Amino acid sequence: MKKITVIGTGYVGLVSGACFAEIGNRVICCDVDEQKIIKLRRGEIPIYEPGLSELVERNTKRDQLYFTTEVGEAIEASDIIYIAVGTPMSETGEADMRYVMSAAKKIGEHLNSHKIIVGKSTVPVGTGELVREVIQANKKLPWVGFDIVSNPEFLREGSAISDCMNMDRAVIGSDNPEAARLIGELHSPFNTRIFTTDLESAEMIKYAANTFLATKISFINAIANICERVGANVADVSEGMGLDSRIGSKFLQAGIGYGGSCFPKDTYALAHISDKAGYDFELLKSVIKTNQRQRYVIMDKLRETLGGLAGKHVAVLGLAFKPNTDDMRYAPSLTIIPELLKQGASVYAYDPIASEAAKRELPEGVTYSTSLDQAVAGADVAVILTEWDEIRSMDLSNIRKLMKRSILIDGRNCHSLQEAQEAGFEYHSIGRPPVNMSEPDRQSANF
């Protein structure tokens, strides 16, 4: 059993801390947010993540997992200190490092014995060395040593517990082989591959991995836009591409672009890092630009289908950036819904989990429905923005009967063309031929 402190109880810190406790370690999760800690002690989880509540409750009862605002005491009580604070995107696009540096200062002030300091937050290359300098400058006991390790996270929202307990790989970067070995040993119960490297390379791996996946998404979305213009079907194109073992099928699902807490922030951050290093990363900048434009494809389809949006009843199905989370960060709905309201549409929105979070982010004027049926009742058009299972499996024939007009715009390609046709919908998706359009309309759509 190892004694671990995790500084930061956000998404990464809370999931990581709970999983480390689950495999038998004593874990203290600490945060300066007193209200958050009070709620966690009561078993109230501040984020929606399947399985997390049960994991926290079980390990709290086993006395394996603790929550505190006393950050200094938590540092002193453990041998391994994880820094898992937020690194939000600043106005310039670079990662905001204030919370990381604050944690490093606190560690220095309370360094009472040799400890391994592990960076879990997504940070620019070189942060590990900066953390080392800050800790060194703030040490109260000059003779006490420490090691710095980078151990980036690769959790997917909605499946984070499974990702952590069955991780593809644990990337561990350090200039001390013994420190790397100990952190590798910590991960051995996860039945994962341990990949060790230097500190800077580990920090870069996180950015490189996320920006590559974002590149695949923007690439297939660009291909989808071409497919619509030449009469091809992007679903068949992506499947045919994915059969090539050099390419693979993952992250080749066309839609309205990526969102969430990682891809937008990390692509901007790496672009800033490359500019600062004197390299113009044009490819990455194009990925970002393609993603920004992609969500407006929905608006184009709405205008082409309805003519104008003023006075139209638009049912928006799905608000979170992806299913199985209530995360609204950089969700396409945050772009599309304000534009719908601006153009005079009445918006009736439904999300099985994220409605409360959406109310804090979206402007006034949205009517939040408590069911799919309620959202689509009397609608001129329904728009799918999030591929929740409930939306993927909805009975299209029943939905069509509830609507005023039978128009469905599917931003996530949740439904098959045959299914939409049989249900009688005029159906528009991403990169696939439209269904049940009149011939003049079909010709004008293939511009």
Angle at which helices 199-230 and 234-242 pack, to 10 degrees? 140
Reading the block at residue 221, the tokens are 């979305």
Compute the distance between CA of residue 425 and CA of residue 410 in angstroms, rounded to an integer.
11
Compute the distance between CA of residue 8 and CA of residue 17 in angstroms, rounded to an integer.
10
Compute the distance between CA of residue 16 and CA of residue 4 in angstroms, rounded to an integer.
11
Q: Is 206 annotated as a binding residue?
A: yes
Q: Is 36 annotated as a binding residue?
A: yes
Return the closest-CA partner of residue 195 out of 238, 142, 140, 154. Answer: 154
Q: Is 156 annotated as a binding residue?
A: yes
Q: Is 305 annotated as a binding residue?
A: no
Amino acid, single-letter form, for residue 378 = G
Q: Is 254 annotated as a binding residue?
A: yes
Q: Is 240 annotated as a binding residue?
A: no
- CB atoms near residue 405 (< 10 Å): 17
Q: 164 an active-site residue?
A: no
Q: Is 20 annotated as a binding residue?
A: no
Q: Is 154 annotated as a binding residue?
A: yes
Q: Is 54 annotated as a binding residue?
A: no
Q: Is 122 annotated as a binding residue?
A: yes
Compute the distance between CA of residue 123 and CA of residue 178 in angstroms, rounded to an integer.
23
Amino acid, single-letter form, for residue 346 = S
| 233 touches 224 (CB < 8 A) | no
Q: Is 155 annotated as a binding residue?
A: yes
**% helix, strand, coil for the chain, step of 5:** 45, 15, 40
Compute the distance between CA of residue 137 and CA of residue 135 in angstroms, rounded to an integer.
5
Report which DSSP code applies to 95: B
Compute the distance between CA of residue 102 and CA of residue 163 in angstroms, rounded to an integer.
29
Compute the distance between CA of residue 35 and CA of residue 257 in angstroms, rounded to an integer.
34
Q: Is 265 annotated as a binding residue?
A: yes
Q: Is 263 annotated as a binding residue?
A: no
Reading the block at residue 297, the tokens are 């494809």
Compute the distance between CA of residue 203 and CA of residue 208 in angstroms, rounded to an integer.
9
Which one of 19, 30, 227, 262 is the catalytic residue? 262
| 222 touches 290 (CB < 8 A) | yes
Report which DSSP code applies to 261: S
Q: Is 146 annotated as a binding residue?
A: no
CA dihedral of residues 293, 295, 298, 300 (deg, nearest 10) = -20
Q: Is 318 annotated as a binding residue?
A: no
Q: Is 329 annotated as a binding residue?
A: yes
Binding site as annotated, residues: 31, 36, 87, 122, 154-157, 206, 251-255, 259, 265, 322, 329
Catalytic site positions: 262
Task: Provide the annotated binding site for NAD(+).
Answer: 31, 36, 87, 122, 157, 265, 329
Binding-site residues for substrate sit at: 154-157, 206, 251-255, 259, 322
